[in-house]
Amino acid sequence: MILAGTFREHEDLQDEIDVLFENEADMNLLSFVRFLPATLKATNEKCEWRDDTMPEESISLIASGGGADWDTVNDITGLPCVTAECNKLKVGDVLLLAAGAEVVVVLSVNVAAQTIELAKRGWGGTTATVQGVGAFTAYIIGNAQIDGSDPMDGSQKTPTECYNYVQIFEDTAEVSGKVMRSRITMNSEMARQLGVKLKRLLSQLNFAMLNGVREKYAERATMQGVRNRTTLTSNVAGALSVAKLYTAVTAMINAGGSPSAFHGSAKTIGDLEQLLPTFIESSTSDWHAKLTVKKVSMLGMSIEVHVDKHIVAGELLIVDYNRVSYGTQNSEEATGSFKAYEIERNGKQWKKHVVGYYTMRQKQAAASVCRMYGIT
């Protein structure tokens, strides 16, 4: 028997995990654990990072009535632009206006007066065009400075502080004294028990990565999953169609993401395969070279397709693997990946504690995952 408080040597279970992933067919249905990059190394219970914040590429402008401002073809001074939009602009920004593909260059920005001034209308031979009364969009297509002028003011955007907690996943494998005295050797039975417990814990980890909610109460903490943090959604509200699939993928690309894989339930992935049968191919995974996976060819990309038993039947997740990762809490003493610690061994029983410390990071919520829901 090992006394409480004494140091216990641990048994790394990574080899057992590899064997499970390779040999157990049902482990193929834990797609997040299998395919999401396991690169994150947290040093504390609270895992913090600064989220990416991309500068705006378009602004919303408001035209005024009465033959003035944006609804004329020659006005370049005192053009209305609300404070929030003024703060997105810099002197020299080149704007592509909505109507007539007119191009203009910003000469000055007056945040207090909520106006901007232009160098001229109809820049570069484009046609000065009435922009109409109401709101319209202008796209920032570059910045043109005067040669030899002083550097412009910095355009730094304050990054968003994000965090997640490390969650403990644990179970106990035990062999009774009767088994230890039977024809079944205790070592083989303990190995079987460890495999069973490890499969259960990996399944729980996969479920938490999808549906977990972030909270800490006293000394108990749970980590946040992708469904809870994702902000980009697409309501299919019916049968999956080619048009709705492309709409969701395009929305994710416009948000700055780069789709790596579709993750869905068996039914949803089945619908996807039937919807695009000629565009489904089997080839080596871009993320796990030893595995052969199915891919969908669309928009010049090969997007992997994975079935996950823990995803809601009416949902399909589009995931950017460059922005979502999971990992363990590491310390100087040990890593937080699944390990087995012997806690008791005597004539009546043999117990091993199986435990892992895991968390995940999702950067740029709108670009990292798009959740399609309402699929019937």
- 92 burial class (0-12, 13-18, 19+ CB within 10 angstroms)? middle
For the ranges 19-33, 148-162, 212-226, 246-260, the lowest mean pLDDT is seen at: 148-162
What backbone phi and psi angles, to 5 degrees, belong to 243? -65, -45
Is 290 in a helix, a strand, or coil? Answer: coil
Structure token pair of residue 92: 């020299």
Give the relative orientation of helices 186-211 and 14-23 as an angle to the nearest 10 degrees.
80
Structure token pair of residue 192: 């079987």
Structure token pair of residue 376: 């019937």
Residue 55 CB contacts under 8 Å (≥ 6 apart), including other chains: 88, 155, 157
The pLDDT score that the predictor gives to residue 67 is 54
Rg (CA), the chain: 28
Is 289 in a helix, a strand, or coil? Answer: coil
Choose the most confident range, by mean pLDDT, from 141-155, 217-231, 321-335: 217-231
Average pLDDT over residues 30-51: 89
Rounded CA-CA distance 193/182 in Å is 16
Please give the C-alpha separations between residue 9 and each of 14, 94, 333, in angstroms, as whole numbers.
16, 64, 12
The pLDDT score that the predictor gives to residue 1 is 42
Rounded CA-CA distance 307/268 in Å is 8
Predicted TM-score of the model (pTM): 0.82
The pLDDT score that the predictor gives to residue 186 is 64
In this predicted structure, the answer to whether residue 9 has a pLDDT above a threshold of 80 is no
282-308 pLDDT, tens digit each = 888 877 767 788 889 989 999 999 999
In eight-state DSSP terms, residue 43 is S
Handedness of CA 41, 43, 48, 54 (dihedral sign): negative
Rounded CA-CA distance 257/253 in Å is 5
The pLDDT score that the predictor gives to residue 221 is 95
Count helices and strands (H / E) in the chain.
9, 23
Rounded CA-CA distance 247/253 in Å is 10
